[in-house]
Amino acid sequence: MNKILSISLVLIIGACSQKEQKSIGEGVISNFTEIEENTITNLYDAFGEDKSEMQKDFGFSCILKYKGKTILFDAGSNADIFKNNVQAMNIDLTKIDIAIASHSHFDHINGFDYLLQVNPDVKIYFPFDLFWGANIPFDISGEDSTITDSLDKKMQYFGGDFESYEFNQTGRFWNANIEFIKENREIAPGIKLISTSSPNMGYFSQYPKVGIVTKEDDIHDHKSSDAKLVGLKEISLSLETQDGEVLIVGCSHSTVEKIVAKAKSYTHNQIAMVYGGYHLLPYDRKTLVDLSIRLKEELEVKKVAPAHCTGHLAFKILLDEFGDNYLYAGLGETINF
């Protein structure tokens, strides 16, 4: 009896250990879903069919597999909702080989907090953006640098030794395995990152006036202003296939046209599909009709799979223009490429 009991305990302990190895956060998932090669699945979005346990929210994230590498692109607005959707789809985040943050807006990055809990060593590519902590030289001398000599050393930044100052941040992503992408780069065979910047859709376009506020302050003439512009840095993912590049965009603040054109120029390849957020919510019907025609005829995009911030009107116009080459990409949906 003792011998049988001992064998039984060993088997039970072994089974528990296997389950613990497959635990994610507080939940335990015993059978993970295998991410199939050449697929993209929407993990985070505000639209889609009602799927068991999947939660809709405004933000974006998708997971894909290409040439054996599992890639997470963005991670949504809310880490708890991201965690919920990942677990609802039985996805093992410890198997993520590469993570990509398209840009610094909250609705694309907050789920990385959960990713790093589960997979703290994962390689993450960030845009070369000051917001993330990129080591960017910053001029803190002010508009009149000649005034410095008239100040006592104790009143000068760093005692006057500030000409070569660069930010060196720690904090939210402290010690994470991050690499900043400043320009287009191939990070693995067939896997390219496309770098763009939007000077007009960043954090702000000009500094507000100092002094008495008037009604005229509501009207800003950017052309006549010498205000410093802060461009929003953005990276998109381009995958080489037999049909052309599969282009994955986060929010297209640089405009989807610019991203497509830059991807074509860098890869010297046609665009087989554009998947993700096109950021077309602010535009009227005529603008969107013209854009959809340019995407199809001038830029020769073969298929579209819009999601996230593309907007209802753009969904409809792109569907009308592309017909069968419009791929539905709602929350929880998987597209093959």
Tokens of residue 283, six digits: 């535009």
Selected residue with higher pLDDT from 249 and 7: 249
* Alpha-helical segments (H) within the chain: 2-21, 79-88, 106-109, 112-118, 256-267, 285-293, 312-322
Say whether pLDDT at 162 is over 90.
no
315-to-135, 264, 269, 276, 310 alpha-carbon distances in Å = 39, 23, 26, 12, 7
Q: Is residue 15 part of a domain?
A: no
Say whether pLDDT at 229 is over 90.
no
Closest-CA residue to 302 (of 268, 262, 275, 283) = 275
pLDDT, one tens digit per residue, over 174-223 is 889 999 999 999 999 999 999 999 876 566 555 555 555 444 444 444 44
Residue 308 sits in a domain whose CATH number is: 3.60.15.10
Rounded Cα gap, residues 177 and 285, in angstroms: 43
DSSP lists the bridge partners of residue 234 as: 196
Rounded Cα gap, residues 259 and 266, in angstroms: 10
Q: Is residue 10 part of a domain?
A: no
Contact 137, 163 (CB under 8 A): no
Q: Which of 98-102, 131-135, 168-172, 226-230 has the highest mean pLDDT?
A: 98-102
pLDDT, one tens digit per residue, over 17-32 is 333 344 444 455 458 9
Q: Is residue 4 part of a domain?
A: no
For the chain, how many structural domains are there in total? Answer: 1
Q: Tell me the pTM.
A: 0.83
Say whether pLDDT at 87 is over 60.
yes
For residue 252, the model assigns a pLDDT of 95
Q: Is residue 54 part of a domain?
A: yes
Q: What mean pLDDT is predicted for residues 291-312?
A: 97
Tokens of residue 33, six digits: 């879903």
Rounded Cα gap, residues 266 and 279, in angstroms: 22
Say whether pLDDT at 86 is over 60.
yes
**Which string of b and e fits 124-162 if b means at least 16 CB within 10 Å?**
bbbbbbbbbbbeeeeeeeeeeeeeeeeeeeeeeeeeeee
Rounded Cα gap, residues 143 and 146, in angstroms: 9
**235 is in which domain, residue-wise?**
31-133+169-336
Q: Which helix (H) or strand (E) holds 246?
A: strand 244-249
Rounded Cα gap, residues 161 and 164, in angstroms: 8
State the chain's mean pLDDT as an integer.
Answer: 85
Q: Is residue 6 part of a domain?
A: no
Length of the chain: 337
Q: What mean pLDDT is predicted for residues 102-131?
A: 94
Q: Is residue 23 part of a domain?
A: no
Q: Is residue 276 part of a domain?
A: yes
97-to-63, 85, 287, 294, 319 alpha-carbon distances in Å = 11, 19, 39, 35, 33
pLDDT over 90 percentage in the chain: 66
pLDDT, one tens digit per residue, over 14-68 is 443 333 344 444 455 458 999 999 999 999 999 999 988 999 999 999 999 999 9
Tokens of residue 288, six digits: 């969107």
Selected residue with higher pLDDT from 145 and 58: 58
Q: Is residue 66 part of a domain?
A: yes
